Protein backbone atom coordinates (compact mmCIF):
# COMPACT_ATOMS: atom_id res chain seq x y z
CA UNK A 1 0.00 0.00 0.00
CA UNK A 2 1.18 3.50 -0.78
CA UNK A 3 -0.30 6.95 -0.44
CA UNK A 4 0.16 9.27 -3.39
CA UNK A 5 1.14 12.19 -1.18
CA UNK A 6 3.91 10.09 0.37
CA UNK A 7 5.46 8.81 -2.87
CA UNK A 8 8.79 10.33 -3.87
CA UNK A 9 8.45 13.08 -6.49
CA UNK A 10 11.15 12.71 -9.14
CA UNK A 11 11.76 15.61 -11.46
CA UNK A 12 12.56 14.52 -15.05
CA UNK A 13 12.85 17.47 -17.43
CA UNK A 14 9.52 19.30 -17.27
CA UNK A 15 7.74 16.37 -15.60
CA UNK A 16 7.26 15.39 -11.97
CA UNK A 17 7.07 11.59 -11.92
CA UNK A 18 5.57 9.46 -9.15
CA UNK A 19 7.14 5.97 -9.47
CA UNK A 20 4.09 3.99 -8.41
CA UNK A 21 4.96 0.79 -10.23
CA UNK A 22 8.32 0.68 -8.50
CA UNK A 23 6.68 1.36 -5.14
CA UNK A 24 3.90 -1.20 -5.56
CA UNK A 25 5.73 -3.85 -7.55
CA UNK A 26 2.79 -4.38 -9.90
CA UNK A 27 3.31 -6.94 -12.66
CA UNK A 28 -0.10 -7.28 -14.33
CA UNK A 29 -0.11 -3.71 -15.64
CA UNK A 30 1.98 -0.59 -15.63
CA UNK A 31 0.97 2.17 -13.25
CA UNK A 32 2.61 5.53 -12.62
CA UNK A 33 1.65 9.04 -11.62
CA UNK A 34 2.46 12.59 -12.62
CA UNK A 35 2.01 15.70 -10.51
CA UNK A 36 1.90 19.41 -11.28
CA UNK A 37 2.23 22.19 -8.76
CA UNK A 38 0.91 25.06 -10.90
CA UNK A 39 -1.44 25.61 -13.85
CA UNK A 40 0.38 25.15 -17.13
CA UNK A 41 2.84 22.65 -15.72
CA UNK A 42 3.32 19.60 -17.93
CA UNK A 43 1.66 16.40 -16.76
CA UNK A 44 1.83 14.08 -19.76
CA UNK A 45 4.54 14.69 -22.30
CA UNK A 46 3.46 14.63 -25.97
CA UNK A 47 3.73 11.06 -27.28
CA UNK A 48 1.80 8.31 -29.04
CA UNK A 49 3.30 5.16 -27.43
CA UNK A 50 5.09 4.14 -30.65
CA UNK A 51 8.40 5.96 -30.31
CA UNK A 52 11.61 5.06 -28.49
CA UNK A 53 11.19 4.68 -24.75
CA UNK A 54 7.48 3.88 -25.02
CA UNK A 55 6.11 0.42 -24.21
CA UNK A 56 3.37 0.40 -26.83
CA UNK A 57 0.68 0.52 -24.18
CA UNK A 58 -2.98 1.37 -24.31
CA UNK A 59 -3.19 3.94 -21.51
CA UNK A 60 -5.87 5.02 -19.07
CA UNK A 61 -5.35 8.42 -17.47
CA UNK A 62 -7.19 9.12 -14.21
CA UNK A 63 -7.27 12.63 -12.79
CA UNK A 64 -7.27 12.13 -9.01
CA UNK A 65 -6.96 15.75 -7.91
CA UNK A 66 -6.99 19.21 -9.42
CA UNK A 67 -7.85 19.62 -13.09
CA UNK A 68 -6.00 18.70 -16.28
CA UNK A 69 -6.29 19.77 -19.88
CA UNK A 70 -5.68 16.89 -22.29
CA UNK A 71 -5.07 16.87 -26.00
CA UNK A 72 -6.03 13.48 -27.50
CA UNK A 73 -5.46 13.47 -31.24
CA UNK A 74 -7.37 16.50 -32.46
CA UNK A 75 -9.62 16.58 -29.39
CA UNK A 76 -9.16 18.87 -26.40
CA UNK A 77 -10.52 17.51 -23.12
CA UNK A 78 -11.20 19.44 -19.92
CA UNK A 79 -10.59 16.89 -17.18
CA UNK A 80 -11.48 17.75 -13.59
CA UNK A 81 -10.80 15.30 -10.77
CA UNK A 82 -12.68 12.07 -11.38
CA UNK A 83 -12.19 12.13 -15.16
CA UNK A 84 -10.89 9.02 -16.95
CA UNK A 85 -9.36 9.31 -20.42
CA UNK A 86 -8.51 6.15 -22.41
CA UNK A 87 -6.03 6.53 -25.28
CA UNK A 88 -5.12 3.70 -27.68
CA UNK A 89 -1.67 3.08 -29.08
CA UNK A 90 -0.80 5.39 -31.95
CA UNK A 91 -3.00 8.30 -30.88
CA UNK A 92 -1.06 11.40 -29.90
CA UNK A 93 -1.70 12.63 -26.38
CA UNK A 94 -0.45 15.25 -23.92
CA UNK A 95 -1.71 17.02 -20.81
CA UNK A 96 -0.98 20.06 -18.68
CA UNK A 97 -2.39 21.15 -15.34
CA UNK A 98 -5.30 23.57 -15.26
CA UNK A 99 -5.31 23.90 -11.46
CA UNK A 100 -2.65 23.78 -8.74
CA UNK A 101 -1.97 20.39 -7.20
CA UNK A 102 -3.13 18.30 -10.14
CA UNK A 103 -2.22 14.60 -10.11
CA UNK A 104 -2.83 12.14 -12.94
CA UNK A 105 -2.47 8.36 -12.60
CA UNK A 106 -1.55 6.37 -15.68
CA UNK A 107 -2.44 2.67 -16.02
CA UNK A 108 -1.18 0.92 -19.13
CA UNK A 109 -0.67 -2.40 -20.82
CA UNK A 110 -0.49 -3.97 -24.28
CA UNK A 111 -3.82 -3.81 -26.09
CA UNK A 112 -5.73 -7.05 -25.58
CA UNK A 113 -3.45 -8.29 -22.81
CA UNK A 114 -6.19 -8.16 -20.19
CA UNK A 115 -8.14 -10.79 -22.09
CA UNK A 116 -11.96 -10.84 -22.17
CA UNK A 117 -14.06 -8.89 -19.75
CA UNK A 118 -14.87 -10.79 -16.58
CA UNK A 119 -18.05 -12.83 -16.77
CA UNK A 120 -19.69 -10.93 -13.91
CA UNK A 121 -19.60 -7.69 -15.90
CA UNK A 122 -22.29 -9.00 -18.23
CA UNK A 123 -24.89 -9.82 -15.62
CA UNK A 124 -24.00 -6.70 -13.63
CA UNK A 125 -24.63 -4.67 -16.80
CA UNK A 126 -27.99 -6.44 -17.18
CA UNK A 127 -29.13 -5.56 -13.65
CA UNK A 128 -30.86 -2.24 -14.51
CA UNK A 129 -32.93 -3.97 -17.20
CA UNK A 130 -33.78 -6.79 -14.79
CA UNK A 131 -34.80 -4.31 -12.09
CA UNK A 132 -37.01 -2.50 -14.61
CA UNK A 133 -38.74 -5.73 -15.61
CA UNK A 134 -37.28 -5.61 -19.12
CA UNK A 135 -36.22 -9.23 -19.08
CA UNK A 136 -35.75 -9.49 -22.84
CA UNK A 137 -33.22 -6.69 -22.66
CA UNK A 138 -31.50 -8.37 -19.70
CA UNK A 139 -31.17 -11.53 -21.80
CA UNK A 140 -29.73 -9.51 -24.68
CA UNK A 141 -27.11 -7.81 -22.52
CA UNK A 142 -26.02 -10.87 -20.56
CA UNK A 143 -25.88 -13.04 -23.68
CA UNK A 144 -23.04 -10.87 -24.98
CA UNK A 145 -20.80 -12.72 -22.54
CA UNK A 146 -21.41 -16.15 -24.06
CA UNK A 147 -18.82 -15.68 -26.78
CA UNK A 148 -16.06 -15.56 -24.17
CA UNK A 149 -17.73 -17.51 -21.35
CA UNK A 150 -19.95 -20.15 -23.00
CA UNK A 151 -20.00 -22.50 -20.01
CA UNK A 152 -19.67 -20.08 -17.11
CA UNK A 153 -22.13 -21.43 -14.51
CA UNK A 154 -23.05 -18.09 -12.93
CA UNK A 155 -23.59 -16.36 -16.26
CA UNK A 156 -25.71 -19.27 -17.43
CA UNK A 157 -27.68 -19.22 -14.18
CA UNK A 158 -28.46 -15.53 -14.56
CA UNK A 159 -29.52 -16.11 -18.15
CA UNK A 160 -31.77 -18.94 -17.00
CA UNK A 161 -33.49 -16.53 -14.63
CA UNK A 162 -33.86 -13.81 -17.24
CA UNK A 163 -35.17 -16.22 -19.88
CA UNK A 164 -37.58 -17.78 -17.40
CA UNK A 165 -39.08 -14.39 -16.62
CA UNK A 166 -39.09 -13.37 -20.29
CA UNK A 167 -41.18 -16.40 -21.26
CA UNK A 168 -38.31 -18.00 -23.15
CA UNK A 169 -38.65 -21.22 -21.24
CA UNK A 170 -36.80 -23.60 -23.55
CA UNK A 171 -33.76 -21.32 -23.44
CA UNK A 172 -34.07 -21.04 -19.66
CA UNK A 173 -33.98 -24.82 -19.28
CA UNK A 174 -30.85 -25.07 -21.44
CA UNK A 175 -29.06 -22.28 -19.56
CA UNK A 176 -29.94 -23.92 -16.25
CA UNK A 177 -28.71 -27.30 -17.48
CA UNK A 178 -25.30 -25.80 -18.30
CA UNK A 179 -25.25 -23.92 -14.98
CA UNK A 180 -25.91 -27.12 -13.01
CA UNK A 181 -23.15 -28.89 -14.93
CA UNK A 182 -20.63 -26.31 -13.73
CA UNK A 183 -18.51 -26.45 -10.63
CA UNK A 184 -20.23 -23.88 -8.42
CA UNK A 185 -22.07 -25.61 -5.56
CA UNK A 186 -24.02 -22.46 -4.68
CA UNK A 187 -26.20 -22.75 -7.75
CA UNK A 188 -28.17 -25.72 -6.42
CA UNK A 189 -29.12 -23.78 -3.29
CA UNK A 190 -29.99 -20.65 -5.23
CA UNK A 191 -32.16 -22.50 -7.71
CA UNK A 192 -34.12 -24.23 -4.94
CA UNK A 193 -35.38 -20.90 -3.59
CA UNK A 194 -35.26 -18.55 -6.57
CA UNK A 195 -38.70 -17.35 -7.60
CA UNK A 196 -37.28 -16.24 -10.96
CA UNK A 197 -37.28 -19.92 -11.90
CA UNK A 198 -40.87 -20.61 -10.83
CA UNK A 199 -42.21 -20.33 -14.40
CA UNK A 200 -40.12 -23.37 -15.44
CA UNK A 201 -39.87 -25.28 -12.18
CA UNK A 202 -42.69 -27.74 -12.92
CA UNK A 203 -41.54 -28.64 -16.40
CA UNK A 204 -40.71 -32.30 -16.91
CA UNK A 205 -37.32 -31.35 -18.40
CA UNK A 206 -36.33 -29.12 -15.48
CA UNK A 207 -32.71 -30.17 -14.87
CA UNK A 208 -31.30 -31.43 -11.62
CA UNK A 209 -27.85 -30.78 -10.31
CA UNK A 210 -25.72 -33.86 -11.11
CA UNK A 211 -23.85 -33.38 -7.83
Q: What mean pLDDT comes out for the span 205-211?
A: 72
Asked whether 29 and 108 are in contact (CB, 8 A), the reply is yes
Distance CA 143, CA 158 (A): 10
- Tell me the pTM: 0.86
> Is residue 23 scored above 50 in pLDDT?
yes
- Edge-to-edge strands, sheet with 30-36: 10-12, 15-18, 30-36, 102-109, 58-65, 84-87
**Average model confidence (pLDDT) across the chain:** 95
Query: Which residues does 37 contact at the CB level (< 8 Å), separation at least 6?
Result: 16, 97, 100, 101
Q: What mean pLDDT comes out for the span 169-188?
A: 96
Query: Which residues does 120 contact at the CB level (< 8 Å), separation at least 6?
Result: 154
- pLDDT at residue 116 in the model: 92
> Is residue 128 scored above 60 in pLDDT?
yes
| Residue 186 buriedness (CB in 10 A; 0-12 / 13-18 / 19+) | exposed
46-103: per-residue pLDDT in tens?
999 998 888 899 999 999 999 999 999 999 999 999 999 999 999 999 999 999 999 9
The CA R_g of the chain, rounded to the nearest whole Å, is: 24
Q: 3-state SS of the chain?
A: CCCHHHCCCEEECCEEEECHHHHHCCCCCEEEEEEECCCCCEEEEEECCCCCCCCCCEEEEEEEECEEEEEECCEEEEEECCCEEEECCCCCEEEEECCCCEEEEEEEECCCCCCCCCCHHHHHHHHHHHHCCCHHHHHHHHHHHHHCCCCCHHHHHHHHHHHHHHCCHHHHHHHHHHHHCCCCCHHHHHHHHCHHHHHHHCCCCCCCCCC
Tally of CA atoms within 13 A in the half-sphere of 165 that contains its CB: 19
Amino acid sequence: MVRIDEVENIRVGELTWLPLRRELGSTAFGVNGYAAAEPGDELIEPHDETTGGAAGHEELYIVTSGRARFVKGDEEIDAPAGTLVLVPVGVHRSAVAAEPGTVVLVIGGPAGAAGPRSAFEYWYAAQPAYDAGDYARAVEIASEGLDDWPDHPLLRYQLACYCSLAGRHDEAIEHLRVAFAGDDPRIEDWAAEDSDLDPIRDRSDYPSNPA
